[in-house]
Amino acid sequence: MKDFQELISSYRNFPRKGIVFKDLLGILKDPDAFKELIYTMSEDEVIKNCDAIACIDARGFIFGSPIAFNIGKPMVVLRKPGKLPGELITADYELEYGKNSLSIQKSSIEKFSSFAIVDDLLATGGTANCAYSLLSKLGKEVTGLSVVAELRNLNARQILEMEVVSQIEL
Fill in the amino acid letter for 114: S
pLDDT of residue 99: 85
Backbone dihedral region for residue 148 (phi beyond 0: left; psi -120 to 50: alpha; all else: beta): alpha
Q: CA angle at residue 88 from 91 to 136, to 5 degrees?
A: 50
pLDDT band at 95 (very low <50, low <70, confident <90, very high): confident
- Residue of 59, 141, 157, 163 with catalytic role: 59
101 burial level (CB within 10 Å; 0-12, 13-18, 19+) = middle
Nearest CA to 167 out of 139, 140, 146, 145 is that of 146
Three-state DSSP at 33 gives helix
Catalytic-residue membership of 96: yes
User: How far apart (Å, rounded) are the C-alpha atoms in residues 1 and 160?
Assistant: 28
pLDDT of residue 15: 86
User: How far apart (Å, rounded) are the C-alpha atoms in residues 107 and 8?
Assistant: 36
The domains of the chain, with CATH numbers, are: 44-169 (3.40.50.2020)
What's the pTM value of the predicted model, to 2 decimals? 0.94
- Asked whether 120 and 65 are in contact (CB, 8 A), the reply is no
pLDDT band at 3 (very low <50, low <70, confident <90, very high): confident
Nearest CA to 93 out of 128, 120, 141, 61 is that of 128
User: How far apart (Å, rounded) are the C-alpha atoms in residues 130 and 126?
Assistant: 6
pLDDT above 60 (res 138): yes
- Residue of 6, 45, 96, 110 with catalytic role: 96
pLDDT band at 94 (very low <50, low <70, confident <90, very high): confident
37-91 tens-digit pLDDT: 999 999 999 999 999 999 999 999 999 999 999 999 999 999 999 999 999 999 9
